[in-house]
Structure 1
Amino acid sequence: MSTTSPARRIERAVVTGAAGFIGSHLVDTLLRRGVTVLGIDRRTPQNNDAAAQNLRDALSEPAFRLASGDLVTDEPKRWLEGADAVFHLAGLPGVRPSWGDAFREYLACNVLATQRLMESAQSLRVPRLVLASSSSVYGETVGTGPLREDGVTAPRSPYGVTKLAAERLALAYALAPGSPTSVVALRYFTVYGPRQRPDMAIGRMLSAVVTGQPLVLYGDGRQRRDFTFVTDAVEATIAAAVAPATAEAVNVGGGDSVTVRQVLRHVADVTGKEVPVTADEEQAGDVRTTAADLSKARTLLAYRPSVALREGVERQWAWLSSRTG
């Protein structure tokens, strides 16, 4: 897609989903770099323990303010005035829970919320919106090699469908004639690290070591994933706010696709304990392989992942150990 001049320097940022895993790390990094940050989230430290932990440092910073709100039901305009960039990380995650009646909420949180945010951003002439998309937009990729942004998108789950819809919707707004808001949609590949949601693979493996409760391993363990450490994802996200772009989708991965069995071995090596495992069938929506082609990220974002999987697992284990005592 066509490019334009870089967005202006970020002095004031809005982060939706600020109390979440990636969002809270992004907030902390922006604050360290002197950016004034308004965080938006349905969760608050008063009603959610994870939010309290994730935002503990940020809440002590004068440059940070947290707004409790819902992008589906509240008017986003009141939060975006004067923003140099909006980082849209709010959304409903998870492939397996997205089937059935839950799809209504996925549609609202991932698609309708994005549309309402884009309307507000354009109305207030916000220069740049960075959207959290997902590798789930690609679908099954066995035998195709690393995934390129100009390749086929054929999501295999309702969740993936909503992420692709949100991505295409935001890019459509950016490409509208005279649009003041440019968009970079980041296709994150399996982000992990401290504060990771407990339902995600590496977090589940480490928790199984701590509790002794077996990890449910879906499939044969030969599935491959491109794991991205959260600090690398944050660096790419901040770079996307100032990259020369009008409407772009960009992969953000860890640079290496490994099997689930290899991850289990890393966890065992780091913790000194084997991960207790019980087998179950593959789940609807799960894909066999993810692997990111990072050529575009290197060119557009100057992105190069710096944390290898073993080191990342060590960091996440150290964080979990400090919490469990």
Structure 2
Amino acid sequence: MNILVTGAAGFIGSHVCEALLQHHHVIGIDCFIGPTPKKWKEKTIDTLKKHDRFTWIEGDLLSLPLDNIVKRVDVIYHLAGMPGVRTSWGTSFDLYTTHNILATQRLLEACKQHRPKQFIYTSTSSVYGEKHGRVHEQTTPTPLSPYGITKLASEHLCHVYGSEFGVPITILRYFTVYGPRQRPDMAFHRFIRQMLFDEPITIFGDGTQTRDFTYISDCVDGTLAVLGNDKAIGETFNIGGKERASINDVIATLEEMIGKRANKQYMNQAIGEPKHTWADISKAERILSYAPNVSLQEGLRREVEYIRSLYGR
């Protein structure tokens, strides 16, 4: 099977490529946007290129000849986009509309002409906004940030191309994915790096906010579980983790692992971020047999090990 992965050099995209390459041919596309240094992404791509079944295309979805690419593939995993809640305000919003909405629409147009067997769009828990308790896929989305709005807009695009043109779409909403290759602007990466270099840890809010943390291998398992699953067509799934925790609890765990006390500096709460997230994954459990199994303790241990090797600490 030939599978297209957009955002192949990114955090989640590269892990998805690695898993798919065990059994399939993969075409990876990336244009190296976002906060992760290009040299890190190029190193990731160099590793993927060692696989005989991997084809690399560097380029922007807004300018690539997508018709020629899409007609060669059976399945599309669309992970490319401009990430980040805090940076989506102000003049940066143009990057989000361009890379999240326009690029998705252009890819869907190609799918209209050369219909793949599946089109899997990866969205985010940010579409839900501030909710109480577990959120299920039928919860009314009320995003709090421009980023969340662009991801929700792309979800709607997927649905209309599915209903009007028969594009076989599936939407996955990820909840706070972490692990090796996590972007340097994401909380766990920042916390670990700052502690290793004896820098103050910057915490937005009072640290009591909680997240449903999803380890990268669990996220990949959920992502691949839709492949070839006819019951997933037209559906939306939450991909959440094994457990929730507060930011303060995470930092306490990191202090024990690293053997250092964190110099915590609390900042104003970031605009556009909910106080709590908590995924109801019962639908994914039922239809995808999704079962996250990596504990937060183990996942953090693996990420600390990776960050140490990344920075030579």
TM range (shorter): over 0.9
Matched, 1:295 2:285: no
Deviating more after overlay: 56-65 vs 83-92: 56-65
Q: How far apart are the structure 2 equivalents of 1:93 and 1:106?
A: 8
- Give the alignment partner of residue 94 of structure 1, picking from 84, 89, 98: 84
TM-score (norm 2): 0.95
- Does the Cα contact within 8 Å between 1:137 and 1:154 map onto a contact in 2? yes
Q: How far apart are the structure 2 equivalents of 1:245 and 1:305?
A: 18
Q: What pairs up with 1:162-181 in 2 under 5 angstroms? A: 162-176=150-164, 179=166, 181=167
Aligned to 2:295: 308
1:13 positional shift: 0.5
Deviating more after overlay: 245-254 vs 306-315: 245-254
Q: How far apart are the structure 1 equivalents of 2:293 and 2:46?
A: 26
1:273 positional shift: 1.6
- Give the alignment partner of residue 225 of structure 1, picking from 199, 208, 211: 211
Aligned to 1:277: 264
Secondary structure in 1 matching 2:225? helix
- Does the Cα contact within 8 Å between 1:12 and 1:83 map onto a contact in 2? yes
1:107 positional shift: 0.5
| Structure 1: stretches of 5+ with no match in the other structure | 1-10
1:310 positional shift: 0.6
Q: How far apart are the structure 2 equivalents of 1:301 and 1:275?
A: 40
Aligned to 1:128: 118
Q: What pairs up with 1:242-253 in 2 under 5 angstroms? A: 242-243=228-229, 244-253=231-240
Secondary structure in 2 matching 1:186? strand
CA separation of 1:266/1:126 partners in 2, compared to 1, >3 Å: closer, same or farther? same
- Does the Cα contact within 8 Å between 1:15 and 1:38 map onto a contact in 2? yes
State the Cα RMSD in Å: 1.4
Runs of 4+ off more than 3 Å: none
Aligned to 2:304: 317
Q: What pairs up with 1:52-71 in 2 under 5 angstroms? A: 52-71=42-61
Secondary structure in 2 matching 1:57? helix
- Does the Cα contact within 8 Å between 1:186 and 1:237 map onto a contact in 2? yes
TM-score (norm 1): 0.92
Secondary structure in 2 matching 1:19? coil
Aligned to 1:184: 170
Q: Deviations over 1:37-93 (max 9, x none)?
A: 10001139xx92111222232111111111011112333222222312100000000
Aligned to 2:31: 42
1:269 positional shift: 1.8
Q: How far apart are the structure 1 equivalents of 2:196 and 2:69?
A: 41
- Does the Cα contact within 8 Å between 1:129 and 1:241 map onto a contact in 2? no
| Structure 2: stretches of 5+ with no match in the other structure | none
- Does the Cα contact within 8 Å between 2:242 and 2:296 map onto a contact in 1? no
